[in-house]
Structure 1
Amino acid sequence: MVIRAIYGLPPQEKPTEPEVEMTPDPVIELRNATKRFRASSGGVHTAVRDLTMTVRGGAFVAVVGPTGCGKSTTLSLVSGLEPPSEGVVLVRGEEVFCIPPGVGYMFQNDAVLPWRSVLDNVASGPRYRGSSRAEARDRARVWVERVGLAGFEGYYPHQLSGGMRKRVALAQTLVNEPEILLMDEPFSALDVQTRSLMQDELLRLWAGSDAAVVFVTHDLEEAIALADRVVVMTASPATVKASFDVALPRPRNVEEIRMTDEFLFVYREIWDSLREEVNRAREEASHRAA
């Protein structure tokens, strides 16, 4: 078994699943990107510094790092919501000056509209892009069913559980068939059981697309369970400290994969790198508070 050999583990009889195909050319490139913000004190805060990173088409990349290090800022640079102060950000080889076409963004807090039904929330993206109401609703029905909400089309957000609202938010994003999916801790507010269900749902839906995913999370287990590659960021100001390939078989069940020897091997390897940055961030926070 190739994957177990990579990690120096004894072979198993059960064969592995083939790995996901990925395009060789990067769809996202950050070249020495730096982002500075004006701080409330009047000074300048550097969120990310000399950040260099690439993501290939079809890849699932998770980004981890200490709290407040600049992970979300990285997504803002790729999405065009924030311009870099220095360096270059490219999407499909074109420099980013505004929100690029084909980019979907799923935030930590869902963006469902309380006055619209599930169906009309999901249909709003196609409507904004020029589809007729009937066409948009037809597309929305497909995605409402794909995320497991068939029968809830006429419900409103206040009638839904947290997990169901996340399914609506996921359908809102995927109905536009993005080539690049940016996700900023989308499941962090969910309970443990619902979170695992949503992680499996995300992998199932992503497997049917060629989308590149950049997934920001504080949860290293989540990062490894989902991703092909885990990027570790330094304490603020963030830059890439290390990048680890996750050679675990697909398709994955996130609960089952966490119990394998391969998963534990990868976890220990990445945590050794991440722990140093978490401790450094804590020490710096203590000095500022003193």
Structure 2
Amino acid sequence: MSQQKAPVIEIRGATKRFRSGAGLHTAVRDLDLTVAPGEFVAVVGPTGCGKSTTLSLVSGLEPPSAGTVRVHGEPVTGIPDGVGYMFQNDAVLPWRSVLDNVATGPRYRGAAKREAREQAREWVARVGLAGFEKYYPHQLSGGMRKRVALAQTLVNEPSILLMDEPFSALDVQTRGLMQDELLRLWSGSGAAVVFVTHDLEEALVLADRVVVMTAGPATVKGVFDVPLERPRDAEEVRLTPEFLDIYREVWESLREEVQITRERGAGRAA
């Protein structure tokens, strides 16, 4: 991945504070991060360290308290054009069919109903749900609902895809299938991806680079290139010596921050 291209995401010295019952809580501090066009970046860190806050800054859902956030070279003052966001809890509407859920995005963007449904039908097929267009969310498995959520996001052809632990609620086997599905659909799209996860294996399977964040208030501790060739098979790549080598290297950095978070939790409980 060429790092010569101008970044599509650029965070410089960003700090985010929230008001809480105890006063001001700093979620992230002095955060620096860039993401190039078409690059897949995974963000890992201990629980509660501010990973999701980072996505909120990029998406415009939260403004920084200090520092700057730019998307496509422009300061983020609202939700930027071309950004897709996939949350931990899927946003499928229970009263709409699979097809109509996926068509929602194009309809909001001004497409006629017939055009929106044609786009939706194509993406329903691309995520492996052809034949389920008329089903409702309660009739689907967890993995199938995630496929609907993925189609909902990708039908809008985002240039930036923000993903906040989207597969964390799935069983191990289904999660592996969804990781492969994401890699297949993302490949060749040109979209930049920022993928937040607690699972280091998942981060390494998917990403070009892994960003390790410190215990909260979070900042970037280290950035690691993932030297695994593409295309990747989510299950097979885990068994390679190259995967084990990069896993050990990144875990050495992450383990210290996880331990700090555990000690803080034990101290508060004592």
- Fold in common (TM above 0.5): yes
2-side partners of 1:99 and 1:22: how far apart? 25
| 1:92-114 Cα shifts (integer Å, max 9, x gaps) | 11000100000000000000000
In the alignment, what sits opposite 2:232? 252
1:186 paired residue among 154, 161, 166: 166
Structural mapping, 1:190-209, within 5 Å: 190-209=170-189
2:215 paired residue among 222, 230, 235: 235
Structural mapping, 1:83-122, within 5 Å: 83-122=63-102
2-side partners of 1:163 and 1:108: how far apart? 13
Q: Report the residue type matching 2:5 in the other structure.
A: P
Q: Deviation of residue 287 (structure 1)?
A: 1.5
Gaps of 5+ in 2: none
2-side partners of 1:223 and 1:105: how far apart? 18
Q: Deviation of residue 42 (structure 1)?
A: 4.0
| Count of aligned pairs between the two proteins | 270
Q: Report the residue type matching 2:109 in the other structure.
A: R
Q: Deviation of residue 208 (structure 1)?
A: 2.7
CA RMSD of aligned residues (A): 0.9
2-side partners of 1:108 and 1:164: how far apart? 15
1:222 equivalent to 2:202? Answer yes
| 1:26-67 Cα shifts (integer Å, max 9, x gaps) | 00011000000011x241110000000100000000000000
Structural mapping, 1:28-177, within 5 Å: 28-39=9-20, 41-177=21-157
1-side partners of 2:262 and 2:204: how far apart? 23
Q: Deviation of residue 280 (structure 1)?
A: 0.5
Q: Report the residue type matching 1:179 in the other structure.
A: S
Distance 1:102-1:50 versus aligned 2 partners, 3 A rule: same
2-side partners of 1:120 and 1:22: how far apart? 39
Q: Report the residue type matching 2:25 in the other structure.
A: H
Q: Deviation of residue 22 (structure 1)?
A: 6.9
| 1:239-264 Cα shifts (integer Å, max 9, x gaps) | 00000000100000010000000000
| 1:178-224 Cα shifts (integer Å, max 9, x gaps) | 00000000000000110000000000000030000000000000000
Q: Report the residue type matching 1:64 in the other structure.
A: V
Q: Is the 8 A contact 1:22 1:59 kept in 2?
A: no
1-side partners of 2:141 and 2:178: how far apart? 13
1-side partners of 2:2 and 2:100: how far apart? 34
Which stretches of structure 1, 4 residues or more, deviate above 2 A after TM superposition?
20-23
Q: Which moved more, 1:190-199 or 1:278-287?
A: 278-287
Q: Deviation of residue 289 (structure 1)?
A: 2.1
Gaps of 5+ in 1: 1-19
1:271 equivalent to 2:240? Answer no
TM-score by length of 2: 0.99
SS of residue paired to 1:26: coil
| 1:164-184 Cα shifts (integer Å, max 9, x gaps) | 000000000000000000000
